[in-house]
């Protein structure tokens, strides 16, 4: 009987948390075109949070409220758009899981199994980091308003009724914002954690393929068996490229929105944190919000860069195999594989922006530019 630690999750288990979130949000029902359901009503209810923020943009008395409202407005709008894009393409995730299952079945040998176990642990930890980070943001956003002296809402927004002078209306506004932000953070968790988890999985399976290729001929002297294993590795490479194409098609446009929103949001959030956040609760809120914004972009850029590096190692792995002592057919197939590994894939968001650490650096520079622009505008307004 196999030891318990070798029982590694496969298929949809890698994206278990994301599937659960999308199921709660009704994304699966919407993808199946079940429009008249509780899921539809829930998504419409949560989507109303964006107009309530947008209608009150820059209409508050304090700069802190205006900055908070601006950041939440663009984040909420982007969240709704990203969820809609994922709903349309969720069927591709099922195709991805079929390819992942085939690649998992190819894992054999102590080294590969050890690498596979580490991959499963890494994916679980990565998903948990997003879960804990967004949970921390939820706690800070929902309860910081309790420490204010006057009656206030967690988020500055517009309502078509007077909530300041009516307890019933105030409780209704609080309940609406609590439910809306809870589900929007759940949307953000699913939408933002899926891309880095998917790219990390592709990168780790690429490393497993490198281990398989480089070990050919070193453990067995049977040339026919080695040639058959090389052919299977060529098929694995084809599956890996197919997995990468499906991943790119699924995350491309949501990441385009994310890169654009990140630059504006980080600049505005940093400005609020540096110049206007005075109480410890406001500082904790802005700090946690800034952490969530970085988590939305940095991991996906990191694993995009790692993916390019891992695919670049495939070419070297081909020549690490014991190809010298193999037959002519093996060497012919090896040259075919070597030529195929020369092209290193680069994922693009919206077919334009590389999903790479260089893009994260560029986003940080754009955020600083926006931060400076707000500061210059503020200084001009004071001088006038």
Mean predicted confidence (pLDDT) in 272-285: 82
Mean predicted confidence (pLDDT) in 305-328: 89
Percent of the chain with pLDDT over 70: 91
Coil, strand or helix at 354? strand
Q: What is the pLDDT of residue 198?
A: 95
Assign 357 a pLDDT band (cuts: 50, 70, 90).
Answer: very high
Q: What is the pLDDT of residue 5?
A: 40
Residue 4 lies in a domain: no
Residue 155 lies in a domain: yes
Pick from 5-9, 100-104, 217-221, 321-325 the range whose average pLDDT is largest: 100-104
Residue pair 178/145 in contact (Cβ under 8 Å)? The answer is no
Q: What is the pLDDT of residue 208?
A: 95
Tens-digit pLDDT profile for residues 59-83: 777 787 788 888 888 888 888 889 8
Assign 142 a pLDDT band (cuts: 50, 70, 90).
Answer: low
Least confident of 48-62, 223-237, 245-259, 345-359: 48-62
Whole-angstrom distance, CA of residue 206 vs CA of residue 233 = 11
Coil, strand or helix at 353? strand
Pick from 19-33, 36-50, 109-123, 209-223 the range whose average pLDDT is largest: 109-123
Residue 1 lies in a domain: no
Q: What is the pLDDT of residue 119?
A: 93
Tens-digit pLDDT profile for residues 171-202: 888 888 888 888 888 889 999 999 999 999 99
Whole-angstrom distance, CA of residue 337 vs CA of residue 229 = 12
Q: What is the pLDDT of residue 115?
A: 92
Whole-angstrom distance, CA of residue 241 vs CA of residue 202 = 9
Domain count, the chain: 1
Least confident of 137-151, 222-236, 290-304: 137-151
- Which structural domain, as residue segments, surrounds residue 256? 15-383
Assign 12 a pLDDT band (cuts: 50, 70, 90).
Answer: low
Residue 3 lies in a domain: no
Mean predicted confidence (pLDDT) in 92-97: 92
The angle formed by the CA atoms of residues 322, 324 and 329, to the nearest 5 degrees, is 95
Residue 333 has pLDDT above 60, yes or no: yes
The angle formed by the CA atoms of residues 40, 258 and 301, to the nearest 5 degrees, is 130
Tens-digit pLDDT profile for residues 149-170: 677 777 777 777 788 888 888 8
Residue pair 204/100 in contact (Cβ under 8 Å)? The answer is no
Residue 187 lies in a domain: yes
Contacts 24+ apart (CB under 8 A), 3-10: 5/117, 6/113, 6/117, 8/104, 8/107, 8/113, 8/116, 8/117, 8/120, 9/120, 10/100, 10/101, 10/104
Residue pair 292/133 in contact (Cβ under 8 Å)? The answer is yes
Q: What is the pLDDT of residue 206?
A: 94
| φ, ψ (nearest 5 deg) of residue 62 | -105, 145
The angle formed by the CA atoms of residues 170, 174 and 175, to the nearest 5 degrees, is 120
Alpha-carbon distances of 334 from 52, 107, 224, 229, 234, rounded to whole Å: 61, 20, 14, 11, 9
| pTM, entire model | 0.89
| φ, ψ (nearest 5 deg) of residue 106 | -85, -5
Residue 7 lies in a domain: no
Residue 10 has pLDDT above 70, yes or no: no
Whole-angstrom distance, CA of residue 46 vs CA of residue 26 = 12
Q: Which residue has the higher pLDDT, 92 or 50?
A: 92
Residue 233 lies in a domain: yes
């Amino acid at each position: 009987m196999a030891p318990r630690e070798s029982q590694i999750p496969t298929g949809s288990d890698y994206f278990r948390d994301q599937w659960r979130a999308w199921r709660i949000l009704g994304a699966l029902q919407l993808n199946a075109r079940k429009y008249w359901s509780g899921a539809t009503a829930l998504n419409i209810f949560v989507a109303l949070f964006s107009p309530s923020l947008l209608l009150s943009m820059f209409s508050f008395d304090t700069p802190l409220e205006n900055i908070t409202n601006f950041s939440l407005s663009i984040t909420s709008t982007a969240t709704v758009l990203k969820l809609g894009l994922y709903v349309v393409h969720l069927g591709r995730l099922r195709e991805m899981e079929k390819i992942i299952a085939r690649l998992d079945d190819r894992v054999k040998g102590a080294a590969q199994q050890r690498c596979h176990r580490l991959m499963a642990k890494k994916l679980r930890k990565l998903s948990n980091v997003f879960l804990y980070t967004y949970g921390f943001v939820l706690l800070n956003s929902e309860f910081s308003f309790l420490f204010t002296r006057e009656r206030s809402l967690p988020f500055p927004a517009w309502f078509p009724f007077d909530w300041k002078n009516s307890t019933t209306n105030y409780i209704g506004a609080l309940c609406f914002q609590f439910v809306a932000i809870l589900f929007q953070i759940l949307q953000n968790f699913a939408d933002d954690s899926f891309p880095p988890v998917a790219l990390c999985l592709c990168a780790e399976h690429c490393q497993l393929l490198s281990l398989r290729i480089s070990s050919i001929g070193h453990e067995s002297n049977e040339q026919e068996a080695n040639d058959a294993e090389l052919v299977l590795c060529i098929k694995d490479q084809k599956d890996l490229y197919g997995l990468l194409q499906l991943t790119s098609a699924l995350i491309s446009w949501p990441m385009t929105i994310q890169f654009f929103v990140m630059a504006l949001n980080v600049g505005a959030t940093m400005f609020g944190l540096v110049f206007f956040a005075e109480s410890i609760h406001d500082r904790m809120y802005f700090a946690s919000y800034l952490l969530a914004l970085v988590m939305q972009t940095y991991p996906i850029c990191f694993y995009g860069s790692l993916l390019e590096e891992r695919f670049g190692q495939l070419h070297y792995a081909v020549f690490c195999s014991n190809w010298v002592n193999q037959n002519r057919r093996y060497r012919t197939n090896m040259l075919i594989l070597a030529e195929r590994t020369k092209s290193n894939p680069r994922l693009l968001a919206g077919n334009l922006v590389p999903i790479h650490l260089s893009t994260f650096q560029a986003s940080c520079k754009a955020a600083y530019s926006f931060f400076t622009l707000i500061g210059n505008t503020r200084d001009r307004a004071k001088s006038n």
